[in-house]
Amino acid sequence: MKFTAQDIAAIIEGTVDGDENAIIKNVSKIDDSKPETLAFLANPSYTHYIYTTLASVVIVKNDFTPEKELSCTLIRVSDPYQAIATLLNAYAEMQPQKVGIENPSYIANSASHGEDLYLGAFAYIGENVKIGENVKIYPNSYIGDNSVIGDNAIIYAGVKVYPNTQIGDNCIIHAGAVLGSDGFGFAPTEDGSYKKIAQIGNVKLEDNVEIGANATIDCATMGSTLVKKGVKIDNLVQIAHNVVIGENTVMASQTGIAGSTKVGKNCIFAGQVGIAGHLKIGDKTTIGAQAGIMSDVKGGETLFGTPAMDAKQSFRIEAVKRQLPQLRRDLMSLSKKIEKLEL
């Protein structure tokens, strides 16, 4: 496809500063660009690349002021990240959409689906499954009995949806994710072995949820493991039984949440965060990478470390840790001086 700078500006509600007819045939990174491509500048640490970029057009913030001459055309917007997201989404919508049922695949007689279904080869749709309008289910996916999938959902290749799972409208489930597998429930016995506790609940995703590749969300022991609307979960995340994730919370890769923990809305969890079971994490909590949460969090806090603590306190402790070798030497020297004084 070919666009002009003015075409792009119209899509993202920007203002062209330069050649409105500059041609764009593709996108590129500002630090690894080619002619006739579109790049964007959002992170100030990349500003120096705008003076050497080969991109024909660069999206920048409205208040960007170049310090020297530029060879590219600018499109000024209030938020470059939002602009590029809008643009890429518009581009994706222009691509041909898959529709139809491929063979071999299986749909139970009691299952139902709306219009414009795409069902890839070797997909399996169980008994009493209800599928909404414009749903795409890619090859080798399994949708268990009595599950519900809302309108405009996308289920990528190899996803496993256990029976009784509920998936809302506009959800995206990436390849290899597993929804509804048994929670980790075992009762210790007198002889030291463990007896499995039946997990008879389900998983429920509200609207506009996205689940990353190879993520797992366990079914509830009873009731529902609940992921509320707008939640975004990265690849390789583990959500245990009876967990509740509040609206618009985001979790980066390898985060793990133990059973029955309740997470508030608008939280941000960085990579490899670990949260113990039966806790309450308040709204708007931010947790840094590899932090371990072992007690309730009231909300509105930024935490780092294991056990996790207030970010400023954690940074002060880390600063002291770097000085420990010198502090030890100073302590040993003082100890020797005290010994001499005592003699």
- Residue 48 to residue 336: CA distance in whole angstroms: 54
Contact by Cβ (8 Å): 240, 218: yes
Question: Which amino acid, residue 325?
Answer: P
- Residue 296 to residue 308: CA distance in whole angstroms: 11
Rg for the chain, CA atoms, rounded: 26
Cβ-count burial of 191 within 10 angstroms (0-12 exposed, 13-18 middle, 19+ buried)?
exposed
Q: What is the DSSP string of 236-290?
A: T-EE-TT-EE-TT-EE-TT-EE-TT-EE-SS-EE-TT-EE-TT-EE-TT-EE-TT
Active-site position among 48, 113, 174, 241: 241
- Residue 148 to residue 140: CA distance in whole angstroms: 18
Sheet holding 280-281, edge to edge: 112-113, 130-131, 148-149, 166-167, 202-205, 224-227, 244-245, 262-263, 280-281
Phi, psi of 73 (to 5 degrees): -85, 145
DSSP-derived pairing of the beta strands 172-173 and 154-155:
parallel
Q: Is there a catalytic annotation at residue 241?
A: yes
Question: Which amino acid, residue 27?
Answer: V
Please name the residue ranges forming H helices in the chain. Answer: 5-12, 80-94, 311-342
- Block residue for tokens 């529902």: 224
Distance from chain centroid for Cα 2: 31
Active-site residue set: 241
